[in-house]
Amino acid sequence: MRRAVAHNTALPPLPQQELPSSLTRSRVWAAWGFAVPTLLVLILIAGWPLARTIWFSFTDADLNNLDDYKFIGLENYLVKYDDEWLGLLTDPDWWRSVWNTVWFALVSVSIETLLGMVVALTLNVSFAGRGIVRAIILIPWAIPTVVSAKMWNWMLHDQFGVINDMLQGVGLIATPITWTANPDTALWSVVMVDVWKTTPFMALLILTALQMLPQDIYEAARVDGVHPVRVFFRVTLPLIRPALLVAVIFRGLDALRVFDLIYVLTANSRDTMSMSVYARQQLVDFQDVGVGSAASTLIFLIIALAVIVTIAVGRVRLSEDA
Amino acid sequence: MTRHLTSLAFLAGLAATANAHAVEVSISCSALGQEYEICKQGVDAWAKQSGNTVKIVSTPNSATERLALYQQLLAAQASDIDVFQIDVVWSGILSQHFHDLNAKARGVIDQHFPTMIQTSQVKGKLVAMPWFADAGLLYYRTDLLQKHNRRVPQTWAELTDTARIVQDAERQGGNRDFWGYVWQGRAYEGLTCNSLEWVSSRNGGTIIDDSGDITIDNPKAADALKMAAGWVGTITPEGVLNYTEEESRGIFQAGSAVFMRNWPYAWALAQGPDSVIKNKVGIVALPKGEANGRNAGTLGGQLLAVSRYSKNVDAASDLVMYLTSQEEQKRRAIAGSFNPTIPALFKDAEIIKSNPFMGDLLSVFSNAVARPAAVSGDNYNRVSTEFFNTVHQVLSKRAEPEQALSRLDRDLKRIKRSGWQ
């Protein structure tokens, strides 16, 4: 990141180091004028709640009485009590939910990216009825998550579910699988539903990038007789990488704060609990605003870290290509 | 100055007379199914009699969502709702926000079931009045027990045997998806209710006793969990680990199980006109854990509480006393099959005429076990969550009962470290 910045500033040599002209100054003022309302709204709707949550994480606030709390420092995170370390950072349930979330994000986003790519490449080829197919493929994305989660819950039901019925019908399994109840398959079921729902989103973003690629490169490749697979890895993939990166960051962020899908499919079960489900349980079920806010603060830090790492890795590679 | 004071006094007088004449009281009552209609009839009758008006506020159907909403309203000291309909396990969590009803209820509170009174009291303060009761029941198929020549089980061991015999015979008869016993095993409050029944039916205590000591780490509780873990995959489908009330009712009402544990609401549905098991169902108290054990159904139900932040505490308390009175509970039992919290009503001829099964429920409610909600106060949800998660691990065979319970004991002590509040 720093390298890219240094590279940019080195390029245009500044003409003079004197005071900016009146035109520049009025432009700067105008720019601030346009930016201030947005900044104000951002501070109000994002900055203030975030600051309040971080503040609450250092207090012993209780949902029952939010006015009466005191500052307790880092006790919600880590405290030594009677020779025993307590607090969020020592809670195995919290670390389990972190691991669940990270695993879920990695697996689901990887599968969605691969499948999304396949779908996008297919839809990029012109064939009869392409417009209709493109519209149809977006349906899972258009259904609200809670609705699709409820729907899948019934489809995955061990006794009445259509999935077990179909698998038994073709003879793949002898006894029904308890998809959402068995700890071994529960998280995979969540991944499966998430893939079903968000692959269209991935495909749409990749398809947009594909449509903007210049056709002459492909014609040149065809004239030179380059194998299509080689064309894909040498031409298509590098060209759509910026768009792909944006799509992966979007989905990654979404996956790290996953709540509704897991809450509807498996409720507060420890085996599948995500970080957001954990924070909600502390905040609402246990009325512990202090620990809940501490968990929310850590979620914020973890997601911020994930974004920084992804962007940094992406930038470095891009500048290497250049 | 004096003029100001007189006008102020005049205004206050005006307000006071207005108060004495008629006020508007708002009540949150559940709107599930016919509950709204029957609640409305009750409050309308009181409004007519007292000359006040009543507004019914709709609240979410899901219990957890409703508790979260209540907490937000009460934490903000909002006076929007005067009378709250609360679950029996919320009295400890919300007690500090409610008005003490002891004075109003003097003389009538003793009519109610002792366990119901116990859950309405927190440290001597009567935070709510019992409105209607619920308890875990055993549903069984009368036709199948007769066909396979088995009696209604008295102990869990007998239930296990009968369930297996009927299940094997029915499966051989061609009903491949038939099961012996369905219940609620999802990691949620319902599992706490189910497992509390297994434990206390063997005299294994109620997780925390009345004095606040943690009692769950005992051999009887371990036996109870071992028994239940043995059901999963044999007489109970493995999917029970994610079942709530409606999933288990789905199987039972489709005719695919001989026994079911559920709340009284399932009775009316099982006897509904489109039910395939109509007139083939019986209900009875849940079995005893062992010969000298007890029939223990977990106590549920709803209470009515008056908000401390209400502007009309007096009128609101009157409304609560009216709605929980013997006459109104009788009307609700006849009109909506709500189980009264007053034992005398279970012998009422008119109620038994419209709900023949209610006569049998008196012993179930008298023996019902209360969850340790009042004693654990603010921490009840935490205690319950630790408990059902431990049980869930044992049921899915990822932990041995003895070790799981001693770990639970340690975790509960950790929650208790500063004492129950």
Percentage of residues of chain A with pLDDT beyond 90 = 39
Q: Which residues contact B352 (CB under 8 A, 6 or more apart)?
A: B346, B358, B359
User: Which residues of chain A neighbour B78 with C-beta distances below 8 Å?
Assistant: none
Closest Cα to residue B221, out of B4, B412, B23? B412
Q: What is the pLDDT of residue A3?
A: 44
d(CA A308, CA A315): 10
Q: What is the pLDDT of residue A317?
A: 62
Q: What is the pLDDT of residue B213?
A: 92
Instruction: Decide if B167 contacts B180 (C-beta within 8 A).
Output: yes
CATH number of A97-321: 1.10.3720.10
Residue A18 pLDDT level (bands cut at 50, 70, 90): low
- What does the pLDDT average to over B26-54? 89
User: Which residues of chain B neighbour A65 with C-beta distances below 8 Å?
Assistant: 75, 96
Is the model more confident about B231 or about B6? B231
Percentage of residues of chain A with pLDDT beyond 70 = 92
Query: Of A78-82, A86-90, A143-147, where does mean pLDDT reach its minimum?
Result: A78-82
- What does the pLDDT average to over B79-94? 92
Q: What is the pLDDT of residue A5?
A: 43
Residue A15 pLDDT level (bands cut at 50, 70, 90): low
Phi-psi region of A137 (alpha: psi -120 to 50; beta: other; left: phi over 0): alpha
User: Which residues of chain A neighbour B187 with C-beta distances below 8 Å?
Assistant: 267-270
User: Residue B228: pLDDT above 90?
Assistant: yes
Are both B19-127+300-366 and B137-298+373-416 of the same fold? yes
Domain ranges, ordered by start, for chain A:
24-56, 97-321
User: What does pLDDT average to over chain B?
Assistant: 89
User: Residue B221: pLDDT above 50?
Assistant: yes
Percentage of residues of chain B with pLDDT beyond 90 = 63
- Give per-residue pLDDT as tens, A47-56: 999 999 999 9
Which tokens hold the place of B12? 């206050």
Name the strand (E) or helix (H) holding B263: none
For residue B35, the distance in angstroms to the closest alpha carbon of chain A comes to 25
For residue B70, what is the nearest residue in chain A, using CA coordinates?
A: A64
Q: Residue B308, Cβ neighbours under 10 Å: how many?
A: 15
Amino acid at residue number A23: L
Amino acid at residue number A31: A
Domain ranges, ordered by start, for chain B:
19-127+300-366, 137-298+373-416
CB-based burial, A33-71: b 16+ in 10 Å, e otherwise = eeeeeeeeeeeeeeeeeeeebeebbbbbbbbbbeeebee
Residue A9 pLDDT level (bands cut at 50, 70, 90): very low
Task: Say yes or no: B396 contacts chain A, CB-CB below 8 A.
Answer: yes
- Taking 3-state DSSP, the helix, strand and coil percentages for chain B, each rounded to the nearest 5, stand at 55, 15, 30
d(CA A241, CA A218): 17
Angle at CA of residue B308, ends B302 and B309, nearest 5°: 115
- What does the pLDDT average to over B148-163? 95
Residue B137 pLDDT level (bands cut at 50, 70, 90): very high
Residue B66 pLDDT level (bands cut at 50, 70, 90): confident
Task: Say yes or no: B53 contacts chain A, CB-CB below 8 A.
Answer: no
Instruction: Decide if B36 contacts B59 (C-beta within 8 A).
Output: no
- Give per-residue pLDDT as tens, A91-137: 888 999 999 999 999 999 999 999 999 999 999 888 888 888 888 88
Q: Which residues contact A174 (CB under 8 A, 6 or more apart)?
A: A168
For residue B387, the distance in angstroms to the closest alpha carbon of chain A comes to 12
Residue A2 pLDDT level (bands cut at 50, 70, 90): very low
Q: What is the pLDDT of residue B17?
A: 44
Q: What is the pLDDT of residue B58?
A: 84
Q: Residue B272, Cβ neighbours under 10 Å: how many?
A: 11
d(CA A197, CA A261): 10
Residue B7 pLDDT level (bands cut at 50, 70, 90): low
d(CA B392, CA B62): 22
DSSP string, B273-319: TT-TTTTSEEEEPPPBSSTT----PBEEEEEEEEBTT-S-HHHHHHH
A159/B96 touch (CB, cutoff 8 Å), yes or no: no
User: Residue A321: pLDDT above 70?
Assistant: no
d(CA B54, CA B305): 15
For residue B90, what is the nearest residue in chain A, using CA coordinates?
A: A285
- Give per-residue pLDDT as tens, B379-405: 898 899 999 999 999 999 989 999 999
- What does the pLDDT average to over B146-154? 95
Q: Which CATH architecture has domain B137-298+373-416?
A: 3-Layer(aba) Sandwich (3.40)
Q: What is the pLDDT of residue B3?
A: 52
For residue A82, what is the nearest residue in chain B, using CA coordinates?
A: B417
Q: What is the pLDDT of residue B13?
A: 45
Q: What is the pLDDT of residue B21?
A: 62
Q: Which residues contact B377 (CB under 8 A, 6 or more apart)?
A: B92, B93, B95, B122, B420, B421
Percentage of residues of chain B with pLDDT beyond 70 = 94
CATH topology of domain B19-127+300-366: D-Maltodextrin-Binding Protein; domain 2 (3.40.190)
